[in-house]
Each structure stands twice: as C-alpha cells, then as structure tokens.
C-alpha cells in the first residue's frame, strides 16, 4: 500500500467504546464468507476474549481462513489452554515480537473481514473490568470501501515479516503539503510505527492544523509533540483558532515528565486549552480539525497506524462524542499547577529531552518477524468460503 494514498467512496463509522467495537467486529466475523484477519496485542480468556473466540471458531468451522496475530508481550510463548482451544478449532495463531532493532514495535490493532470491511482502534480484547469502575475510554473506526483491501495487504505483509508491502511513495509537493482531496468519503492509512515513517503522520497533522479556520481538538493519553507540531498548534491559537488538547497521563520517567510539563505550560501560555480527562483511563488517540478532517490512531501512541478521514459525517460523530467528553468528564488544566514563566527556549528543551529519550534503544533487541510464517503471500480472495485451508 502506498503511504498517504487517498482513496474515495468510503463509509466510515465511529466506534466510541470497546463494547461497540467488539459488537460490530463480532457481527462482521459471524457473517464473513471468505476470511478474517486480526492483529492485536493479546487475546485472553475473559468476557471479551470468549465472545470473540465463539465467532472466530464459527468462521473457521465454516471453512474460512482465520488468521490472528498476537504480540508476544501480551500472549505467552507457551500458548494458554484458551489459545490452544482456538488453534485446535482451526484458528491460525501467530506470535509477533514486541521489538525491532531494540525499539518498541507496538501491534497495529487492525482487523479485516473478507477484504472489504476493516476495523481500526486502540482496543485490547479485555472484558473483565473491575466491578464498579467506569469503562476505559477507547476509540475505533469501521471502514467499508477500497482501503480495506490495502489494510489486508498490510496484515499479510506482517505475516511475511515485511511491514510495508509496497515501496513507499510520498505524495507531497515541494512545500511539504499532503495531497488533500475534496468531497466526502475520502480516507488514507498512514503508518507511523517505524521511526523513518513518523514524518508521514506529522505531515497530515501539520497540513490540517495550518489550514484550520475554526477549531482543533486532539485527544491522547500522552501528548508529547515535536517542535513543528508544537509550533503549528501555538500559531493556530494565536491566529484565533480554538485549540483544545485532551490529555491524561504524565509519564513515570522523571525527565520525560519534566519535558512534557514544559511543553504543556508553553502551549497554555499561547492560548491552547489543556483539558485533563478524569472519568477513567483514556486509551486512544484521535483528532479533528474544523468540520471535515479527522484522524484516529490504532493505539494510544502516535507511533502506530493512523486512519485519516475527510468526511463530514464521521467528523460530526467524533465531534459530538468529544464535546460530551470535554463537558462532563474533563477539567481545564490550571496554569498554576504547571511550571511558571515557560518560554520558547524551555519548551524547546522539553522537545529535545523527549527526542533524546525516544532515541534510546530498548532491550531486548529482537526481530519483528512473525514466528513460523516466513514467505507468506496474500492468497487470492475467492467468492465463497470453500477451498480455504
């Protein structure tokens, strides 16, 4: 799939909770006729895992190809009885390593059914939440249209140990602008899980922010922007655009926490509204600009896969949900709780510290190849379930 390649004629639906996500994914798998591909961090023997297992086993028993890739940090190298039961029923389970070249390589939480319907979101298949606790706030999207076949190729490329099946082609002008289509139902998938490719995600954000006229809302558990994104948000606020950032966590690492506080204090002084989400855990990363542009990430970190959408209906659905969240579940960040007198130099120091921390390789250094599946090629999709192994 060419990165940043816009495609039209999509129907994109917002999935604002894990319950809605699992319900829609389960319904799609239950009615699938050819294949089911899923990539996630783990699949456990809990309420959500058992519900998904029922439809996966049903699909496998109907003769469909059912492939599930799980990250080794979430799924033990020694399969649990629950996973063994899925394998015995005909579901193919692969385990992917959590690191590449010593750096974290988060799973792209994606699913594709019949090569026509794709699901993306920061969801883990966890269903046993503590009694009485509010549900984790997660976001996902269901996409029906031509981009689903490209997502299918991405997942099969993972099985072959190649994260990007087609050589990348940046579709930007000399001024660095991402090509922005007009009309409705446009979408593109941007992969940000390799360091050399995070610039593609950034370009889409910068293009939308620089052309914003009314408002910008970004929501993420952690907000640790680089210099260009921080500058673009500050400039937007200064020219009269309402900029709101919904965040939650301060990192545990002392240096990273100091750096992020400098950045947040600087943005607050520039007119950016900082809101702290208080109701529960915020697990996801979404954004919207004006009344058409929106993006949703496949996890809680900007390293992961992003779906960028230009569609007023999807934007309106996301806007309505974020508006309720900001009104009832958030609190405006008090400037008194952040460092005082933070200027541009200290904010830049924060950006540099975050970049230095990000450049430190994590151990152990392992390959990202999926175990036991080298040389996998995407098979042709037939019209029926017959003939699949």
User: How long, in residues, is the chain?
Assistant: 389
Q: Is residue 126 exposed (0-12), middle (13-18) or buried (19+ Cβ within 10 Å)?
A: middle
Burial class (CB in 10 A: 0-12, 13-18, 19+), 366: middle
Nearest to 188 by CA among 1, 318, 13, 4: 4
For the chain, domain boundaries: 11-159, 186-358
Does a cis peptide bond (omega within 30 degrees of 0) precede residue 364? Answer: yes
pLDDT under 50: residue ranges of the chain: 1-3, 73-76, 99, 163-178, 193-197, 360-376, 386, 389
CA dihedral 1, 139, 258, 98 (to 10 degrees): -50
DSSP letter (8 states) at residue 373: -
Alpha carbon 344 to its chain centroid, in Å, reads 30
Nearest-CA neighbor of 117 among 30, 4, 55? Answer: 30
- Residue 186's H or E segment, with its range, is strand 186-190
pLDDT of 235 reads: 96
36, 67 Cβ separation under 8 angstroms: yes
Q: Alpha carbon of 23 to those of 2, 17, 29, 52, 178: distances in Å?
A: 31, 10, 10, 9, 34
Q: Angle, nearest 10°, between helix axes 18-30 and 47-61?
A: 10
According to DSSP, the β-strands at 242-247 and 273-277 are parallel
* pLDDT of 254: 86
Q: Which region holds residue 63: left if phi is over 0, alpha if psi is between -120 and 50, else beta?
A: left
| pTM (whole model) above 0.85 | no
**Residue 312: in which H helix or E strand, if any?**
helix 312-328
**What number of other Cβ atoms are within 10 A of residue 51's Cβ?**
16
What's the sign of the alpha-carbon dihedral 366, 371, 375, 376?
negative
Fold for domain 11-159? Endonuclease; Chain A (3.30.870)
Please check whether the two domains, 11-159 and 186-358, share a CATH topology: yes
As a whole number of angstroms, the distance between CA 43 and CA 53 comes to 9
- Cα dihedral 216, 221, 227, 230 sign: positive
What's the distance, CA 183 to chain centroid? 24
Written as six digits, the tokens of 166 are 């087609």
Residue 168 is predicted with a pLDDT of 33
Please determine, looking at this structure, whether the domain spanning 186-358 carries the CATH number 3.40.50.720.
no
């Amino acid at each position: 799939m060419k990165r940043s390649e816009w495609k039209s004629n999509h129907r994109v639906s917002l999935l604002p909770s894990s319950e809605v996500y699992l319900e829609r994914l389960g319904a799609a798998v239950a009615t699938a006729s050819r294949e089911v591909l899923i990539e996630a961090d783990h699949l456990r023997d809990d309420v959500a895992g058992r519900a998904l297992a029922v439809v996966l086993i049903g699909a496998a028993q109907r003769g469909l190809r059912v492939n599930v890739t799980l990250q080794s940090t979430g799924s033990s190298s020694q399969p649990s009885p629950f996973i063994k039961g899925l394998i015995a029923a005909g579901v193919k389970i692969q385990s992917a390593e959590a690191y590449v070249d010593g750096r974290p390589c988060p799973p792209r939480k994606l699913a594709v059914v019949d090569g026509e319907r794709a699901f993306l979101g920061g969801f883990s298949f966890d269903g046993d939440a503590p009694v009485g606790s509010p549900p984790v706030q997660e976001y996902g999207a269901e996409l029906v249209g031509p981009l689903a076949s490209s997502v299918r190729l991405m997942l099969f490329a993972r099985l072959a140990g190649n994260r990007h099946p087609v050589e990348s082609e940046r579709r930007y002008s000399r001024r660095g602008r991402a090509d922005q289509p007009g009309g409705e139902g446009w979408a593109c998938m941007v992969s940000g899980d390799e360091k050399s490719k995070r610039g593609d995600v950034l370009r889409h954000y910068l293009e939308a922010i620089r052309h914003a006229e009314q408002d910008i809302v970004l929501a993420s558990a952690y907000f640790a922007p680089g210099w260009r994104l921080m500058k673009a948000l500050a400039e937007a606020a200064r020219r009269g655009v309402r900029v709101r950032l919904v965040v939650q966590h301060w990192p545990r690492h002392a240096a990273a926490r100091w750096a992020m506080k400098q950045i947040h204090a600087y943005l607050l002084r520039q007119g950016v509204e900082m809101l702290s989400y208080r109701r529960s855990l915020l697990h996801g990363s979404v954004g919207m600009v004006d009344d058409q542009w929106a993006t949703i990430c496949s996890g809680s970190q900007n390293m992961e896969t992003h779906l960028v959408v230009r569609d007023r209906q999807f934007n309106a659905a996301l806007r309505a949900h974020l508006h309720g969240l900001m009104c009832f579940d958030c609190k405006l960040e008090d400037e008194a709780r952040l460092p005082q007198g933070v200027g541009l130099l200290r904010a830049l120091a924060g950006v540099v510290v975050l970049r230095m921390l990000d450049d430190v390789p994590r151990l152990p250094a392992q390959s990202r190849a999926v175990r036991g599946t080298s040389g996998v090629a995407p098979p042709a999709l037939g019209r029926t379930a017959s003939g699949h192994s």
